[in-house]
Structure 1
Amino acid sequence: MFLVFIYYILMALGWGFARQGKIPPLIGLWSANALFAAAGILLLKRLGRLRSGIAAVWHWVRDLKARRTVRRRPLEPFPAALPKSKPSGQLLRILDLYTLREWLSYLGLMVVAFTGIYMIFDFFQLIGDVVRNHIGLGVILHYYVYLTPQVVFLMFPLSILVATLVDFGLLAKTNQVTAVKSAGISLYRLALPVLAASLAASAAMFVLENRYLPDTNQRQDSLRNRIKNRPAQTTLLPDRQWIYGQSNRVFNYRYFEAGQNTFSDLSVFEIDPSTFHLTRRIFARHAFWDPRVENWVLEQGWERQLAGDRVSEYKPFNAMVFNELSEPPGYFLPKAASMWFG
């Protein structure tokens, strides 16, 4: 668990530095994986010649006795060395299948365990909203169906790490690694099927993230907003967002800078809920959140009051605060997990 904690601390730090622009995104996202891969290769290289304290003393005593015995014996010609034999292809195939089967069994167990823990924790977070908002069982089941791919995607690297540690740890504990080495097979060759399977899993995760997760994340975000009684928002066009506000307002904007809490090309539409007719529209070229008044300051815009098909009132402004637009910046934060690469 300590290694898992260190891994996620490094991954969180890299993600945070990448978002702040202090390091390139590629380094931020892959630094933890690169460090653990380098550490794994180094430890695998040292495993072949690593001995415990008692074993080291025993081997030293045995070597000392052997040297004394050789000194007492008369010199004799050394026997011819036995020819080196390479393991057969059938033996390697059997070994690969055995190693891969054991590793996959541990991997499946870890994925189910970690995903289940995440789901249980998430359910207890939502149970209050479910009761408060009278959410039906069907909505909850659909939410977890669409949430499962994202959770599996998040838990898969951790599951691979733990499954690899457990698999090779048990192989070493039961002296199977020693038996494999005695057959002339190196540790690198023993780890080859697991490495190949991990690379295949990485490719599958890349396809999953770019092809399937955006759609499932949109659906589970919509259902989660419904469970929490939050407004739904669209992410089909990242440069043109629509989001339902409080009361009967709909916000539309070209761009929202979360770090600065500013809008570009902000439009606010007010709708009559009884007729669904547009009654008012506010437009601002720029808008920013002022914490002193806890409201949005709209700049370079105009306000139109509508009566049926005609404009009853038109007021341009350079800067204005509308008290009714009290939605905080966190209300408009985008969900990056619902977007995909073009």
Structure 2
Amino acid sequence: MRIISRYVIRHFLPTFTLALVTFVGLYLIIDFFEKVDNMLEKHVSTLQIALYFLYKTPFIVTQGIPMAVLLGTLISLGILKRNRELIAFETAGVNPASYIMPIVSTALLLSLVHFGVGETLSRAMNQRAQRLWQQEVMQNQASVSYSHENVWYHGNGVIYQIRLYDRSNQTMQKVSLFYTDSQFKLTQRLDAKRFRWDKNRWIAEDGLILRFEGTKTTQEWFQQRELNLRETPRDFERLETIPEELGWLDLYKYSRKIRLEGYNSTPYEVELHMRMAFPLTTFVLALLGITIALRQGMHGGITLSVGIAMIVAFLYLTLLQLGSGMATAGILPPWIGVWAANVIFASLTGYLWMTKN
């Protein structure tokens, strides 16, 4: 690495690190005071409280990286310009790429780190935090990730209507099965108070079977019956899958599969694009920060840089939330809604760079 590149990085990294630590610290403090009363009310131990916020830290770090990169870029280049060091570089015939590319390369690397950490450590730890919150604070109250109501599922030759599916203990409540022939004519109906998964098969409890043979209908009551069904708990879990629980590749396969099966895949497609668009924000905001810093006058200080960063971050998050919300509502295609913020800010960066004196 050339001397100038190392010099710029030595200015950028400390500022970036300080901004990231500040963001994470403020986030944790605010989150702590919002939730500590609920935790103390449920007599959650100090260790469990500490673990909860420790589990959330990787997620908070990934959320703070784009803002920290923007601040680090604005402040570090702003200081170099205010001290006339950038002018000295240009006077000496140094190519601007020599002091721009180190920040661009670092931002691109951080975007990849953001994506990687978000797909592994952050997601896993955040799930632990949510599970701890449910178990210790909500006192094991069922959450959406463990149960699902009013499920309709088209299986192999049978249609399921399930009043409540509980993934945690692999049971169904108030189940109706509709058996059809090759012409989709109803041949049999089974109603049961409860289904449970036991030794690789479904056991129906307290139910009634209705068989339709022409104009004749027969019925049979039962207390317990083993069922020969191809569907397993894994098939029903996917109906209640929360997008955040899946890795990117699994989410891609899952969204494609349910779209082909005729289910609404929009929330999953929005999350899929968000997984890629948000990490790339780090790179886009770094480019924008470089352009803004080089356009500032000699008197642009740290306060001005922080103010600009806050405004840019607010506008970006507003556009991102608006676009993703419109995509989730079906107003915009998922890829347009999610990527709109990055495209707009990248275009703004290009315009500012082209009009720079």
TM-score normalised to the size of structure 2?
Answer: 0.47
Q: Which has the higher helix share?
A: 2
> Normalising by structure 1, what TM-score?
0.49
Q: Which has the higher contact order (CA 8 A, sep 6+)?
A: 2
Larger Rg: 1
